[in-house]
């Protein structure tokens, strides 16, 4: 997925003074996502790391192309960029998902993750800031989750508030990020039999999302059709 976002409504210091964003998304494996029922798996973590590396390579190439044509361009680091340091509350000045909503790729769910019509929340994100002459998408300003509480009910950390997102709603009103992170680490540690240090992911909200399940089922149906064909 690729979309172009008008970022001028966002404070200049949060976007390095550049007016546009390029949002890039790559889908997680539906098979790996379907295996997340009680907590994170090694396969899920490796898939996230793999796709973050893919996003870094795509972002680097895009910056090369843009700068070669005379535009300013700056890649925003993906979640697992080596050496990347986060503040204690795991915030960033301009989250990838904010660029994605401004580009019209999706909305923020009650799980505080980007949800897309095509892949649900089973997508890893990267973004680039630029002043290139690009036609921007139509921003998405409100959630399409409606009354659904599937991710809220599935969350083992009870970290989700159940509030609905719209532009301007802070992340902390949707999720307790520290409680989410601690539960994910604890559950992964129990699963693999060793202590987990640093950033990790749970994935239960991703796998339980009806939009994600629709993506997984559609992919399985398509694969089955190809096999029969």
Alpha-carbon separation of residue 46 from 32, 49, 85, 124, 208 (angstroms):
10, 5, 20, 12, 20
Digit-coded pLDDT (tens) for 40-84: 788 888 999 999 999 999 999 999 999 999 999 999 987 655 555
Distance, in Å, from the CA atom of 54 to the CA atom of 163, rounded to the nearest integer, reads: 33
pLDDT the model gives residue 184: 82
Digit-coded pLDDT (tens) for 212-227: 999 999 888 776 676 7
CA atoms within 13 A of residue 107's CA, in its CB half-sphere: 17
CA atoms within 13 A of residue 198's CA, in its CB half-sphere: 8
pLDDT of 86 higher than 70: no
State both tokens at 195.
């202590």
Digit-coded pLDDT (tens) for 104-121: 999 999 999 999 999 999
| pLDDT band at residue 199 using 50, 70 and 90 as cut-offs | low
Digit-coded pLDDT (tens) for 164-191: 999 999 999 999 998 988 888 787 666 6
Distance, in Å, from the CA atom of 155 to the CA atom of 68, rounded to the nearest integer, reads: 46
Element (H, E) at 130: strand 123-130
Asked if residue 155 lies in contact with residue 205, where contact means CB atoms within 8 angstroms, the answer is yes
């Amino acid at each position: 997925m690729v979309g172009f976002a008008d970022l001028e409504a966002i404070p200049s210091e949060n976007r390095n003074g550049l007016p546009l964003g390029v949002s890039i998304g790559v889908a997680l494996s539906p098979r790996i996502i379907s295996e997340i029922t009680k907590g994170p798996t090694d396969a899920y973590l490796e898939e996230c790391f793999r796709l973050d590396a893919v996003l870094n390579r795509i972002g680097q190439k895009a910056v090369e192309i843009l700068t070669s044509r005379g535009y300013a361009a700056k890649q925003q680091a993906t979640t697992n960029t080596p050496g990347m340091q986060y503040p204690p509350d795991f915030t960033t000045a301009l989250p990838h998902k904010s660029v994605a909503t401004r580009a019209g790729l999706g909305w923020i769910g009650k799980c505080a993750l980007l949800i897309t019509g095509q892949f649900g929340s089973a997508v890893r994100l990267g973004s680039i800031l630029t002043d290139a002459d690009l036609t921007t998408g139509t921003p998405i300003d409100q959630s399409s989750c409606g009354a659904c509480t599937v991710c809220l009910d599935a969350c083992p950390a009870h970290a989700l508030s159940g509030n609905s997102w719209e532009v301007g709603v802070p992340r902390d009103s949707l999720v307790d990020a520290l409680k989410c992170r601690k539960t994910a680490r604890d559950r992964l540690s129990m699963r693999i039999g060793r202590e987990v240090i640093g950033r990790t992911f749970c994935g239960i909200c991703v796998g339980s999302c009806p939009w994600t399940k629709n993506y997984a089922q559609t992919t399985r149906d398509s694969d089955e059709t190809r096999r029969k064909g």
